[in-house]
Structure 1
Amino acid sequence: MFHSEEYIAKENDRWMIQKYLHLQFGGATAIEEKFAPRHDAAFVFHFGDRPILRDSDNYVLEPFFIASIQRRALQMCIQGNLDSFIVICNPTVLSRLYNLDMAPVSKHSISLPNNQLYPIWEQLKHCSTFTQRVALFQSYINHSFPAPYTPDAVDKLYEEIVNHAINTPLKYLIETCGGSSRTIERNFIHRLGVSPKTLMRIVRFNYLWDKIRTEHVVDYQDLVFDGHFFDQSHFIKDFKDIIGETPTYFFKRNLQHLQIISGKGAGNS
């Protein structure tokens, strides 16, 4: 059985943390499925058997790491007894606080020195419930960063793209942040690992996917219009470049495992 539960972070904690996920799997048959690109980053902690990343010569993921934004879907293998705790975060805040370069690496993850994450991984491992893990990790963040966080231009551009990318051209979003657009874009790539344009494409993909999940109807003319694509061929090309499948194939197949792996809500399968 593949099980997922989530906990939305409290309002006063969302300056960095958006939500928590708990994934559990135990079965004789492994699951082969994709992880769809998201617009956020995450702390990932594995306490049982770890997923295998097929895209990197069957690389077994580390016990703990920071997952950066991915440009394209990743092929995963879930097997054995999975017990994973994932903390979905604002990537610009996370990378700034930990002074990280989030540019993509061959393993599709960012490692921190063991003395930064190993102690909290060890404590989380011995928690008996998801609720205890949430409380422990939030306490860790509050203790590590007690001072109020002040957003900068990169933080503001990230929020503008996440909230307004569907209806507003990128150049106008950059203008609202002030300062040199070239400097902001360079710092943006350093803090997120992707360009503003790439993030907009990922936000648009997830917006259309969520729209289909909510309305349970696939109308490609509506998707082209709602996503502000030039035409249907532009929509199909953009969609396939991100997920590796055409919209027709993607929306007709069973997406239950993909949704769980990609953090799209709680559930069982």
Structure 2
Amino acid sequence: MNYQTFKPHKDLESIVKFYWTLEVPFDSKNKKQKILPDGCIEMTFNFGDKIKRYTSKEDFILHPNAMVMGQRTKSYYILPIGDVDTFAICFYPLGFANFIQTLLKDLVDKETPISQLFEKTQAEELEQHMAHAKDTQERINIIETFLLKKLNLKNTINNIVKSTVDTLLKTNGKTPINVILKDNISKRRQIERYFRKQIGISPKQLSKAIRLQATLQLLFNKKSETLTDIAYESEYFDQSHFVKDFKELTGITPKDLLNNEHMALASLFYK
């Protein structure tokens, strides 16, 4: 597997977290790979063979070649049917709301073709230009030209939402929402509505996804000796709370994560 990341243009760095590429030659021995919630929205372009996304143990759908993957509230499995050659844009939680009018809650746990989110001709031209680009740098130039042209800062992000997301990112999701909002019930109802519109999921769901990312960094890079250490470092109430939240988002326990054949791709992302 060849996985690389690239920094965005300075005018996009508060919106785009990074670009990434993945190349994996086909191997009949390849196993399904688990994709985990990460609190981000991604736009991906597939230049290789089709990729299956499993909706049950046996049933699957095929990813569109150019799509947006909305916020994820649960894990799922994918499996390429041939060679993988992917370019993707990873947006910060509030990033993608700057480019479309669609409610972000309508994209949650779904792969949406870009032709359904942008003007069809523009989307088709973008997909063709990306496919025919000679290298990754040219693809970055193409997508940044597109994004900067589409950028609509008048799609004003609610200040309460922005400050809440900033706090969650800064504290790796450890700060409880009621603490951020100072137990203001009316403000909490308001922010729930704004979050579903501009991010797609609730503040609590985003907090769990961000916290999971920090935990996965510790697990995959073995920066803590025991699960108790990780639970403590991630500021969970206790180990059982840690395991419960982890399993809710990943479908497996922390103990089962490492050396799991379905986690090879995730391991690559976090190391």
Q: Pick the aligned partner of 1:134 from 136, 140, 144.
A: 140
Give the 3 Å change call, closer, same or farther, for CA 212–244 of structure 1 in structure 2. Answer: same
By relative contact order (CA 8 Å, sep 6+), the higher-ranking structure is 1
Tell me how far apart the structure 2 counterparts of residues 10 and 168 of structure 1 sit (CA, whole Å): 30
Q: Normalising to structure 2: TM-score of the pair?
A: 0.85
Contact 1:127 1:133 in 2 (8 A): yes
Tell me how far apart the structure 2 counterparts of residues 74 and 37 of structure 1 sit (CA, whole Å): 9
1:145 Cα offset (Å) = 2.4
Q: Pick the aligned partner of 1:77 from 63, 76, 79.
A: 79
1:149 Cα offset (Å) = 8.0
1:217 Cα offset (Å) = 4.0
Tell me how far apart the structure 2 counterparts of residues 166 and 15 of structure 1 sit (CA, whole Å): 18
- 1:55-77 CA-to-partner distances (Å, cap 9, x unmatched) read 26210001111111111111111
Equivalence for 2:64: 62
Contact 1:31 1:78 in 2 (8 A): no
Give the 3 Å change call, closer, same or farther, for CA 200–253 of structure 1 in structure 2. Answer: same
Task: State the AA in 2 paired with 1:128.
Answer: K
Contact 2:70 2:109 in 1 (8 A): no
Tell me how far apart the structure 1 counterparts of residues 101 and 38 of structure 2 sit (CA, whole Å): 21
Task: State the AA in 2 paired with 1:259.
Answer: S
Give the 3 Å change call, closer, same or farther, for CA 20–100 of structure 1 in structure 2. Answer: same
Q: Counterpart of 1:52 in 2: which secondary structure?
A: strand
Task: State the AA in 2 paired with 1:231.
Answer: D
Tell me how far apart the structure 2 counterparts of residues 203 and 106 of structure 1 sit (CA, whole Å): 16
Give the 3 Å change call, closer, same or farther, for CA 34–167 of structure 1 in structure 2. Answer: closer
Question: Quick check: 248-257 or 127-136, which moved more?
Answer: 248-257
Contact 1:92 1:192 in 2 (8 A): yes
Give the 3 Å change call, closer, same or farther, for CA 32–203 of structure 1 in structure 2. Answer: same
- 1:97-153 CA-to-partner distances (Å, cap 9, x unmatched) read 301222256872234243342211110100111111111111111222276886432
Tell me how far apart the structure 1 counterparts of residues 195 and 108 of structure 2 sit (CA, whole Å): 20
Equivalence for 1:187: 194
Contact 1:100 1:191 in 2 (8 A): no
- What is the aligned-residue identity percentage? 18
Contact 2:220 2:267 in 1 (8 A): no
Question: Quick check: 207-216 or 65-74, which moved more?
Answer: 207-216
Equivalence for 2:151: 145
Task: State the AA in 2 paired with 1:258.
Answer: A
Question: Quick check: 164-173 or 104-113, which moved more?
Answer: 104-113
1:193 Cα offset (Å) = 2.0
Any gaps of 5 or more consecutive residues in structure 1? none
Task: State the AA in 2 paired with 1:138.
Answer: E
Tell me how far apart the structure 2 counterparts of residues 120 and 10 of structure 1 sit (CA, whole Å): 18
Cα RMSD (Å): 2.6
Tell me how far apart the structure 2 counterparts of residues 169 and 148 of structure 1 sit (CA, whole Å): 30
1:20 Cα offset (Å) = 0.6
1:256 Cα offset (Å) = 3.0
1:216 Cα offset (Å) = 4.4
Q: Pick the aligned partner of 2:180 from 173, 177, 182.
A: 173
Tell me how far apart the structure 1 counterparts of residues 110 and 152 of structure 2 sit (CA, whole Å): 30
1:220 Cα offset (Å) = 1.5
- 1:153-192 CA-to-partner distances (Å, cap 9, x unmatched) read 2233222212225442212323599x83311211102222
Give the 3 Å change call, closer, same or farther, for CA 174–210 of structure 1 in structure 2. Answer: same
Q: Normalising to structure 1: TM-score of the pair?
A: 0.86
Q: Pick the aligned partner of 2:94 from 87, 92, 95.
A: 92
Establish whether residue 39 from structure 1 lines up as the match of residue 39 from structure 2.
yes
